[in-house]
Structure formats: structure tokens, C-alpha cells
């Protein structure tokens, strides 16, 4: 059975996690990899409906995502998680549970996130209209030692995907190049 594992994208809202996750999944599928994307927004609607945004609820959400990612990973699937996952301890617990785990910090300066915010969420959070907004009124703890760091304020999604693919090849998760386009 092919090796499974989890690529965990963490970063602030709007940093590009979902865009990168889906582009990475498309590329991995071209390599005939079994791939699933667990997008934080979708998981919240289905698996974690009813949870709020307290630290305990956020940790519960991440624990649920890690549980599903572990089930899939141990069955040969490369799971791509795209979730803010603001607390280091919850991400570390996911890493410990899953084992085959690559943390990708999707970094983006707050000023850029505010500038590109299509829903106006950051502006509302700054005005105090949204409580517990990560990066504004709630903390985000960036990884200390992510395997891959991509800065989306100065790097496009394709270059971010290429950096992740390069790392996955280096650690032996992938052995072939993508199909020529």
C-alpha cells in the first residue's frame, strides 16, 4: 500500500491555505496519489457543527480533524489539512497522533490579509464586531519549526505548491515528477 501522511497547512484566515491545499491535491492526483483535503471551513460546517470559537472548542475541532486525518493517512491517503489551527499544542498533538506529518506554515502579513480580505472580516474584527477573531482579538501561535514555510504576500500559490512538493520528494513521500502540462 502506498505511504499515507498528512500535510497540515496552518496560518491566518485568508492567507491562502485552501487555495494551496486544492492546487496541491490536484497535482498529487496527477501523480496517481490517493488524496483528500480536509478544509477547516467545511469541517466546521459538518464534523464540528455546534462548536464555538473558545480555545477548548478550537482544540476540539483540531482534534477531530486530526482523528480523521490519521484514519485516512494510515490507509495510504495523503491528507491535506487546511485549517487555521491557531494553537501550537493542538498542532503538536495532531503531529504526535498522526506520525507521518508535515507542517506547512502559510505566512502572510496582517496588513496584506486586511487589504485582500474579500468578506471584510478583518475590518469587522478590528471594529470589535467579531469576537474571538484569530490574529486580531484571539492569538495565533505560529509554528516554531514547520517543515515548510511559504509567504503568500510575496509568493504565488503555484510557487507555494512547488515548495511543498519539493519537500515531499526530499522526505521520500513522492518519487515521480508531475505529468507534463
Task: Give yes or no: 85 in active site.
Answer: yes
Percent of the chain whose pLDDT exceeds 70:
95
What is the pLDDT, as a whole number, of residue 176?
55
Would the pLDDT of 2 be above 70? Answer: no
| Catalytic, out of 18, 73, 85, 107 | 85
What is the pLDDT, as a whole number, of residue 177?
52
What is the pLDDT, as a whole number, of residue 61?
94
pLDDT digits (tens, 9 = 90+) for 76-85: 999 999 999 9
pLDDT digits (tens, 9 = 90+) for 43-68: 888 888 788 888 899 999 999 999 99
The confidence band for 181, taking pLDDT boundaries of 50, 70 and 90, is: very low
SS3 161: helix
Would the pLDDT of 30 be above 60? Answer: yes
Task: Tell the burial category of 16 from Cβ atoms under 10 Å away from its Cβ (0-12, 13-18, 19+).
Answer: buried
Backbone angles phi, psi at 103, to 5 degrees: -95, 130
- Are 104 and 10 a contacting pair, CB within 8 Å? yes
d(CA 74, CA 68): 10
Task: Tell the burial category of 129 from Cβ atoms under 10 Å away from its Cβ (0-12, 13-18, 19+).
Answer: exposed
What is the pLDDT, as a whole number, of residue 35?
97
Ramachandran region, residue 180 (left: φ > 0; alpha: ψ -120 to 50; beta: rest): beta
The strand ranges marked E within the chain are 5-10, 35-39, 78-82, 101-107, 148-151
Amino acid at each position: 500500500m502506498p505511504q499515507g501522511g498528512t500535510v497540515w497547512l496552518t496560518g491566518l484566515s485568508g492567507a491562502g491555505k485552501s487555495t494551496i491545499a486544492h492546487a496541491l491535491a490536484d497535482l498529487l492526483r496527477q501523480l496517481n496519489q490517493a488524496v483528500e483535503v480536509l478544509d477547516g471551513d467545511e469541517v466546521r460546517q459538518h464534523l464540528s457543527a455546534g462548536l464555538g470559537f473558545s480555545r477548548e472548542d478550537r482544540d476540539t475541532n483540531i482534534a477531530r480533524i486530526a482523528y480523521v486525518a490519521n484514519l485516512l493517512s494510515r490507509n495510504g491517503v495523503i491528507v491535506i489539512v487546511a485549517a487555521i489551527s491557531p494553537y501550537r499544542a493542538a498542532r503538536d498533538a495532531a503531529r504526535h497522533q498522526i506520525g507521518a506529518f508535515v507542517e506547512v506554515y502559510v505566512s502572510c502579513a496582517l496588513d496584506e490579509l486586511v487589504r485582500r480580505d474579500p468578506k471584510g472580516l478583518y475590518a469587522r474584527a478590528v471594529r470589535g464586531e467579531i469576537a474571538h477573531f484569530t490574529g486580531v482579538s484571539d492569538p495565533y501561535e505560529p509554528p516554531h519549526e514547520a517543515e515548510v514555510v511559504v509567504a503568500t504576500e510575496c509568493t504565488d500559490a503555484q510557487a507555494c505548491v512547488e515548495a511543498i512538493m519539493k519537500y515531499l520528494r526530499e522526505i521520500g513521500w513522492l518519487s515521480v515528477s508531475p505529468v507534463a502540462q
